[in-house]
Amino acid sequence: MKLGIIGSGMIVKELLSITDLLKNVELEAICGTVRSKEKVDGLKNEYGIKHAVYSYAELLNMDVNTVYIGLPNNLHFSFAKEALEAGKNVIIEKPFTSNYQEAVILSLLAREKRLFIFEAITNQYLPNYNKIKEFLPTLGNMKIIQCNYSQYSSRYDSFKEGKSLPAFDPEFSGGALMDLNIYNIHYIVGLFGKPKNVEYYPNIERGIDTSGILILDYETFKCTCIGAKDCKAPIANNIQGDKGCIYQNTPTNICMNFEVLMNDGTNFFVNENNYEHRMVNEFLEFEDMIANNQLEKCYKRLEHSLTVCEVQTIARKKANIVFPADFDRM
């Protein structure tokens, strides 16, 4: 995989920190703005990236076959579309797009051009997550699922002072649903598929959700997903059936060890994650799918991302949280 990276923020640094474990990734180029030149040049030198450029068009004209997009949420669609149109495979950081309509457009374009497009959503690729899937039948009939990812954001203090920040700005497709609760949606949808009904009850300040409770109705069982950036609480995930439950006290994007607690008194811990960093497994799979031209496997993953985009879009609309992209794609 000849990788071109667009962006220089925290998530890009996290990716670069694991590239020594990705033996089939060649770091061809990193692209940023002239304003971020010092940061981009620093990353280029620190991680041995071949080129640093300051024009996306220049990046797309280089010997790059895959573009990684680590930009603010509102830019995911336009940068991905341009890369696909240039014949490049695409990896987009979560959330995939601002809304379901954008996700459908990218999906159709990728399929038309027979290109790979991935959402970099860590939990779907982690061994512990796959192990949870295996244990679900032992829990009996599902009853209640709870995911709470509450993490007080240091940026919330600035937001309360009146500053406009991407994480809390509708213009940037921000908010707690898109930042933290999106992991919970992926977690639940990956286990149980598309819910029958979606409701979202957010705490809204200046037009954006700083926290909220998402309810997913699967008819025979219910899920509550909490995502909060304006307060904190112990992180916990509980999958409760009538024969037992799975308890996990790490965020749904990290999906570390979990405990199986059965009604008959049987209790045991499980931890099959094989890398310390949460991003390694997903990128190893991206590498493998591209190297072996496994387009159908990629598109199966893409269908999952489309369902998650549909859920978050329904949730936002019901809560009257509107992004500019919602009008742009009408």
Q: Is residue 46 part of a domain?
A: no
- For residue 164, the model assigns a pLDDT of 86
Q: Is residue 294 part of a domain?
A: yes
Q: Is residue 162 part of a domain?
A: yes
Q: DSSP alpha helices (H): ranges in 180-271?
A: 182-192
Residue type, 170: P
Q: Is residue 71 part of a domain?
A: no
Q: Identify the CA nearest to 152 among candidates 166, 168, 163, 164.
A: 168
CA 324 to each of CA 56, 169, 171, 263: distance values in angstroms, whole numbers, following the listed order: 23, 11, 6, 49
Q: Is residue 284 part of a domain?
A: yes
Question: Phi and psi at residue 2, in whole multiples of 5°?
Answer: -95, 105
Whether residue 63 contacts residue 28, with contact meaning beta carbons closer than 8 Å, is answered with yes
Number of Cβ atoms within 10 Å of the Cβ of 141: 9
- Which domain covers residue 229, as residue numbers? 119-330
* Euclidean distance between CA atoms 172 and 278, whole angstroms: 25
Count of alpha carbons within 13 angstroms of residue 201, beta-carbon side: 6
Residue 228 maps to which CATH number? 3.30.360.10
Q: Is residue 75 part of a domain?
A: no
Q: Is 126 left (phi over 0), alpha (psi -120 to 50) or beta?
A: beta
**Contacts of 53 by beta carbon, 8 Å cutoff, 6+ apart:** 29, 30, 31, 59, 62
Instruction: Count how many domains the chain has.
Output: 1
Q: What does each of the 330 residues of the chain score in pLDDT, given as a tens digit?
A: 999 999 999 999 999 999 999 999 999 999 999 999 999 999 999 999 999 999 999 999 999 999 999 999 999 999 999 999 999 999 999 999 999 999 999 999 999 999 999 999 999 999 999 999 999 999 999 999 999 999 999 999 999 999 988 999 999 999 999 999 999 999 999 999 999 999 999 999 999 999 999 999 999 999 999 999 999 999 999 999 999 999 999 999 999 999 999 999 999 999 999 999 999 999 999 999 999 999 999 999 999 999 999 999 999 999 999 999 998 654
- For residue 329, the model assigns a pLDDT of 57
Model-wide pTM > 0.85:
yes
Q: Is residue 147 part of a domain?
A: yes
Q: Is residue 5 part of a domain?
A: no
DSSP secondary structure letter of residue 178: I
Q: What is the DSSP string of 100-128?
A: HHHHHHHHHHHHHHT--EEEE-GGGG-HH
